[in-house]
């Protein structure tokens, strides 16, 4: 059923295929029980010139004809139309979902498909909102009104993740508050208002520059703003220890403008002043810029590609030795990491118990890491997770699912800023999907060698569908072009650690305006329990290291260096060679001399003594120039411990009888090497 006012005639199919996303905002309004009353209250307040299109999605009885459009048209000042397949959206119109269908949007047109009859959850609001978020990006708006259950929460999360604006009706004014409460509790709602005030706010934001009527061009550089963005960046860097100057300008511009629209601020300089006066807004902007959007099994075919080509190769790799290690940087709220774990377990089958499996999920967003650790998700994940996987890998509870303990025990989550913190190492697979697309060229140039370094010699890298390694042909080779899977190329990896002077600890993070529901236990040093756990994870699974200046004085420690260094007797000193444990000093001297000349140096298996026992370590030294002054040279020294079993085999190989017969006794070679090293100059920092 439709109202008497019809949309204009549809264009032909060829024109439809060329049509781009609508340049005007599209508002998705979802409701269930009690929703008709709430939407009537909203639509009565809307003027006839908002410049927006409105799509009303309500839970309807699939077996009954709907009079919804006729009922709403009596209260509206704009046309109310029951949606038809391929109808083109127009501003200042309301489109109502028909019964017994699911609805999406593509190229500015509504697409209707028969409702699935598989007995699963019917979530038409989430389905349409997620489609709208993908289609309209920052010009999508989501509203959740009265209703039971939690339909609409994932939809609002997707809209906010793409830069749109989100609303929920106040629980007090909703006839049924289940849906609004679910959305509000998720943290994805920008405005919590009555239906009438939602209408008023929609009118206001529709006139904000963020929702300009014209198509938003790609932003290659931030606009001139008399230092406004510089001030915003400075505040974020000081508070959050993240330099967003290195993110893509378009991302920064849209996210900042989104927060300005929420706060009714038009100018960036005024917004910078608002940030200074309201520190809690820094946290909100920080959350927006980190874009915490993900889902289970994104691009399912990519996971099948892992199972068909990557996982078999990992098992055949002789260096695997019964241990499989996977790292998912930018893991957001954990769905990606858990999906990798499930796919690996499906592939391994009965072989899984015989292997040591570790998956590491890291992200700069501490809120996301908290959620990932809990492993608790809404029941709407059934849209992305098959019934078989829900049965095998999840535990059902009221209104949601929790990842099973068997899967959670394989996954370790820690807060990590990949641009600043040391990387993990010895990974079979690094799945870094849909993270690089938000980084500018400078940051990508820094991150890609880190990902290369983190992999074993026969390791694999998987990127997102819009990401590639074409700018780094010396680091990776293509394995599966369609699914963006690459293998590591052997060769020296030039790591570019900055070791910045900005605060790296969360103790000096943004002051929270509200108390989070999972309060952290404070331990010694002012750190929270989870912060301390993150520190331990990064120390145990990322290489320990330090920075020295041209005089070999240590100026910065990273991780646990005590196995390799100890204070020397006598006057206190931070000189690296004086602190190095037995057997390491000469190796360090030689490696640093080599790095001074060539930029980097590697020592694969250096033996030393610790607590009366022999150990082996890999040494890496990188030359750093931290300023424009050539003499201002520093060096990064990394220690990567070699497991005893591997070290023992290496020792056996180097002491074969044939070597001794050839006059190459390892002890003789060691003395020979040390003698040669003393012939080199005693450490020059000449570049």
Active site positions, annotated: 32, 59, 151
Buried b / exposed e across 166-205, counting CB within 10 Å, b at 16+?
A: bbbbbeebbbbbbbbbbbbebebbbbbbbbebbbebbbeb
Q: Strands 191-193, 165-169: parallel, antiparallel or unpaired by DSSP?
A: parallel
Half-sphere exposure of 466 (CA within 13 A, CB side): 6
Q: Which of 51, 55, 25 is nearest to 215 (CA)?
A: 25
Q: Which of 279, 282, 300, 298 is nearest to 290 (CA)?
A: 282
- State how far the Cα of 236 lies from the Cα of 256, in Å rounded to an integer: 12
Q: Which of 498, 478, 499, 503 is nearest to 488 (CA)?
A: 478
User: In 263-334, which ranges are continuous DSSP H helix?
Assistant: 268-277, 279-290, 300-305, 311-316
- State how far the Cα of 442 lies from the Cα of 465, in Å rounded to an integer: 21
- State how far the Cα of 31 lies from the Cα of 152, in Å rounded to an integer: 8
- State how far the Cα of 115 lies from the Cα of 26, in Å rounded to an integer: 23
Quickly list DSSP for 43-101.
Answer: HHH--S----EEEEEE---TTS---HHHHHHTT-SS-EEE--TTPBP-TTEEEEPPTTE
| Vertex 341 angle, CA 337 and 344, to 5° | 135
Looking up tokens 């199972």, which residue turns up?
A: 307
Buried b / exposed e across 397-407, counting CB within 10 Å, b at 16+?
A: eeebbebeeeb
Quickly list DSSP for 436-494.
Answer: GGGB-HHHHHHHHHHHHHHEEEEEEEEE-TT---TT-TTTEEEEETTTTEEEEPPS---
CB 81 within 8 A of CB 3: yes
- State how far the Cα of 74 lies from the Cα of 630, in Å rounded to an integer: 76
- State how far the Cα of 408 lies from the Cα of 116, in Å rounded to an integer: 32
240 sits in which H/E element: helix 228-240
Query: How many C-beta atoms surround the C-beta of residue 98 within 10 A?
Result: 19
Q: Which DSSP symbol is given to 422?
A: P
Radius of gyration in angstroms for the set of CA atoms belonging to the chain, rounded to a whole number: 29
- State how far the Cα of 515 lies from the Cα of 529, in Å rounded to an integer: 16
Quickly list DSSP for 120-157.
Answer: S---HHHHHHHHHHHHHGGGEEEEE-S-SS-TTHHHHH
- State how far the Cα of 395 lies from the Cα of 333, in Å rounded to an integer: 18
Q: Could you tell me which residues come within 8 angstroms of residue 460 by beta carbon, excluding any fewer than 6 positions away?
A: 310, 313, 314, 428, 429, 430, 479, 485, 486, 487, 488
- State how far the Cα of 147 lies from the Cα of 332, in Å rounded to an integer: 29
Tell me the two tokens of residue 284: 């909100």
């Amino acid at each position: 059923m439709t109202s008497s006012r019809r949309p204009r005639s549809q264009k032909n199919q060829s024109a439809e295929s060329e049509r781009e996303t609508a340049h005007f905002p599209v508002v998705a309004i979802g409701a269930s029980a009690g929703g008709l009353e709430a939407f009537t209250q909203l639509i009565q307040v809307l003027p006839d010139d908002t410049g927006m299109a409105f799509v009303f999605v309500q839970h309807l009885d699939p077996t009954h004809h709907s009079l919804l459009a006729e009922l709403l048209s009596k209260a509206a000042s704009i046309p109310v139309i029951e949606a038809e397949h391929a109808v083109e959206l127009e501003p200042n119109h309301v489109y109502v979902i028909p019964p017994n269908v699911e609805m999406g949007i593509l190229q500015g047109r509504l697409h209707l498909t028969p409702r699935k009859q598989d007995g699963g959850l019917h979530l038409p609001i989430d389905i349409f909102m997620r489609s709208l978020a993908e289609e309209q990006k920052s010009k999508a708006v989501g509203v959740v009104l009265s209703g039971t259950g939690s339909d609409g929460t994932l939809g609002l999360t997707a809209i906010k993740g793409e830069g749109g604006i989100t609303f929920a009706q106040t629980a007090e004014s909703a006839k049924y508050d289940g849906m609004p409460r679910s959305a509000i509790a998720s943290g994805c709602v920008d405005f919590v208002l009555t239906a009438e005030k939602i209408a008023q706010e929609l009118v206001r934001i529709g006139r904000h520059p963020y929702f300009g009527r014209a198509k938003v061009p790609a932003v290659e550089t931030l606009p001139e703003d008399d230092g406004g963005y510089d001030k915003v960046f400075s505040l974020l860097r000081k508070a959050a220890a993240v330099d967003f100057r290195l993110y893509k300008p378009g991302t920064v511009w849209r996210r900042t403008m989104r927060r300005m629209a929420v706060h009714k601020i038009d100018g960036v300089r005024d917004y910078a002043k608002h940030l200074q006066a309201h520190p809690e807004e820094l946290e909100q902007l920080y959350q927006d810029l980190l874009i915490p959007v993900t889902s289970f099994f994104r691009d399912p075919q990519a996971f099948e590609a892992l199972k068909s080509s990557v996982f078999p190769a990992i098992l055949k790799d002789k260096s695997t030795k019964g241990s499989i290690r996977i790292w998912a940087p930018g893991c957001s709220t954990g769905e990606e990491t858990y999906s990798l774990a499930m796919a690996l377990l499906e592939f391994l089958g009965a072989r899984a118990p015989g292997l040591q499996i570790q998956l590491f999920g890291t992200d700069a967003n501490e809120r996301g890491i908290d959620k990932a650790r809990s492993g608790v998700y809404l029941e709407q994940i059934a849209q992305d997770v098959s019934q078989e996987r829900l049965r095998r890998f999840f535990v059902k509870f009221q209104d949601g699912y929790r990842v099973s303990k068997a899967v959670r025990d394989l996954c370790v989550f820690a807060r990590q800023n990949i641009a600043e913190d040391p990387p993990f190492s010895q990974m079979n697979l690094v799945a870094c999907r849909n993270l690089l697309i938000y980084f500018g060229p400078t940051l990508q140039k820094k991150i890609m060698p880190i990902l290369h370094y983190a992999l074993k010699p026969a390791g694999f890298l998987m990127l997102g569908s819009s990401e590639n390694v074409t700018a780094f042909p010396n680091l990776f080779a293509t394995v599966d072009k369609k699914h963006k899977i690459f293998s590591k190329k052997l060769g020296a990896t030039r790591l570019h650690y900055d070791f910045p002077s900005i605060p790296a600890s969360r103790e000096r993070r943004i002051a929270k305006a509200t108390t989070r529901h999972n309060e952290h236990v404070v331990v010694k040093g002012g750190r929270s329990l989870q912060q301390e756990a993150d520190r331990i994870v990064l120390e145990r699974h990322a290489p320990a290291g330090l920075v020295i200046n041209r005089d070999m004085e240590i100026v910065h420690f990273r991780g646990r260096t005590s196995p390799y260094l100890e204070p020397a007797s006598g006057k206190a000193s931070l000189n690296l060679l004086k602190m190095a444990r037995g057997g390491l000093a000469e190796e360090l001297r030689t490696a640093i001399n080599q790095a001074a000349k060539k930029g980097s140096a590697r020592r694969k298996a250096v033996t030393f003594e610790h607590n009366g026992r022999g150990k082996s370590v890999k040494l890496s030294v990188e030359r750093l120039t931290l300023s424009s002054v050539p003499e201002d040279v520093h060096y990064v020294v990394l220690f990567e411990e070699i497991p005893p079993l591997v070290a023992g085999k290496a020792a056996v190989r180097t002491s074969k009888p044939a070597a001794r017969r050839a006059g190459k006794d390892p002890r003789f070679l060691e003395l020979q090497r040390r003698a040669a090293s003393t012939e080199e100059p005693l450490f020059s920092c000449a570049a």
